[in-house]
Structure formats: C-alpha cells, structure tokens
Amino acid sequence: MEINVPLLKQLCEIAGAPGFEKRVRDLVIDLVKPHADEVSTDNLGNVVAIKRGKRNPDGKRVMVAAHLDEIGFIVTHIDEQGFLRFHTLGGFDPKTLTAQRVIVHGKKDLIGVMGSKPIHVMSVEERAKLPKTTDFFIDLGMSKEEVEKYISIGDPVTRDRELIEMGDCVNCKSIDNRVAVFILIEALKKLENPAYDVYATFTVQEEVGIRGANVAAHSINPDFGIALDTTIAFDVPGAAAYEKVTELGKGTAIKIMDAMTICDYRMVEFMKQTAIKEAISWQPEILTAGGTDTAGVQRMGKQGSIAGAISIPTRHLHQVIEMAHKKDIADSISLLVACLEQIDGYDWKH
C-alpha cells in the first residue's frame, strides 16, 4: 500500500504552533469536507468531522483524535539590536536548537536562525555545561526598527524544514503529529462502512497539555476513543532491546500504556485481534514517559470512554529530522479503518 507523500509533505510543512493552528486547521477543513457528513469547529479550535454509522440504532460514538499542533516558540522580547528572545511551546531538548532555521509568523513570515554564544569565545566551564533554551536567541538579520515593522511580542515561531523521502522512510519536522493528521484524513477517505458514528477530531494544543482533546471529549462524550500519535522508535545504535519501545518497519503500534494513560484492556485486545484478522503488521507499545490525546479521550467524556491508541513509530522525536516508515504509516491507516468498520462485532462486556 503506497501512501500519498505529497499530501503528507503539505501537512508537515505548514505552520501550526500550539494556540496558532489556523493555517493547518484551514487546510484540514478543506481536505475533510468532501469525506464527512458534518464538519464543525469548536471555540478552542478543534475540528470535528462526523461520519455517520451504518449500524448504529443506539447512537454510539467513536472519537478519533489527532492533534494539529507542532512544537514551536513564542516571541517574548525584541532587544535593541533586533534579536528575539522566545519561550518554548512544547517540549524541547535544547541541544536540538543549535544551527537551526526558524520562521517567525508576524505581519509577514520572516526566516530567522537560532543563534548562541560561539564555542570560540566560551570558557572551559561554559563548554562543559549542557545548553539551555535560554542560551539561544533568534537572529533575523535586521535592525530593531525593521524587525518591529513585521514582528510583535506574542508572535508564534515554527521550525523550517522540508519533508524528504529517505529509503522507505519520510523525514521532516512535525511528523509529530502531522503524520497522524494524515492518517485520519486518509482513513476518512477509505471509510465506507463505519459501524458507529465516527467523530474524527483534529485537536489543538496537545503539545502544551492535551488541552484540545479535553474540551472535545467533554463535548462529544464518546463511548469509544482512539487516539493517533507518534511514539518513540529507539531502534538505533546503543539502544538495549528493552529500551526501543518500537521499531521502524515493524508495523503500526498498539498502545498498551504511556505515562498518562493505561489503555482499556478491551480496546487493546480488539485492536490486536483486528490486526491479526486483517493481516496488518503491528507491535505493542509501552511508553513510560510522555502522554498523548489518549488521556483526554479516555477521561474527559461524561462517563469516560473505552479508549486506546494507534501509534506511529518515529525516530528522533521533537527534532527537525523526525523519521517514520511508509509501511508503518500505511498499516496505521489500515488498522484504523478496520477497527472503525468492525467495532460493533466485538464483545465489549467481557
């Protein structure tokens, strides 16, 4: 099964820092409208595309969540020389900021570079210290007067990197979580016989605390929940077998737990059985640190939901070189579609 790489590229490269998802949201709305019965946007900015079930006399609801936002920054200060200070929006390993280009989204988009103190003028003590995000500034190559024509405090900043294909993989910034947005869109296109009403929910502000999913789940009040997100693939030199979490090319990952959620054992078993039945490659995922929209989907409805997650193994997470395998992406689409079409055939009472 081939994947639509040009669409994935478009989704990964478009800007959408937490709280500033409008560009990617507008794109997603245009993409899902032809494949949904209803499309709406809530006050926080979540997009909900509903596809009505074919065998649903009791009005059961399945919420499928994929977050729109990408990790980024927000401008906090413009100094006398025109350099920008910033605050992070989402989790960053500071060393990954070195030598990176960014885009500052003001009255117009401006390219900047992450600057820091050159190693040539660092003391021995400074060289030995791990970098902090506060060691960096954004250089736009402009005077303060020029900068202030276009940029204000509070403007969002995203990372600049194009999607490329590398062997059987795709590599870009913001694979987390645009690959899941891509999977949900592709699943809506392929979904011909959903059992229950599907609420395909493109959430906001996941990277700063699962805020969109909490609001959406409270509103939708789902009976069942499936989150879509990336997960660690630490299948690299130096990793012990027990540290890998997942591996590229071994199939989609069925989440068992992460630091914020223990997935419902029934959903885990249903996903496993469905993958085996449909000959879809899969691997188990236990992530002991970090969380996803699964937590909000599971807990924020009025009665809670029977929830789990389909995860996409990804190397180099929260960097501009995130890497996912095309086969794992295709397997994730296949498993999601199969689950949504077969969810009414499982004994959820056992």
Q: Which residues are catalytic?
A: 206
Measure the CA–CA gap between 190 and 312, rounded to whole angstroms.
Answer: 19
Query: Cβ(333)–Cβ(183) under 8 Å?
Result: yes
Beta bridge partners of 38: 50
The answer to whether 17 and 73 have CB atoms below 8 angstroms apart is: yes
Structure tokens belonging to residue 284: 């188990």
φ and ψ of 308, to 5 deg: -155, -165
| DSSP E strand boundaries for 90-238 | 101-105, 109-115, 137-139, 156-159, 164-166, 169-172, 197-203, 224-232
Residue 226 has φ and ψ, to the nearest 5°, of: -135, 120
Alpha-carbon radius of gyration of the chain: 21
Which residue intervals of 85-143 are DSSP H helices? 124-128
On whether the CB atoms of residues 42 and 216 are closer than 8 A, the answer is: yes
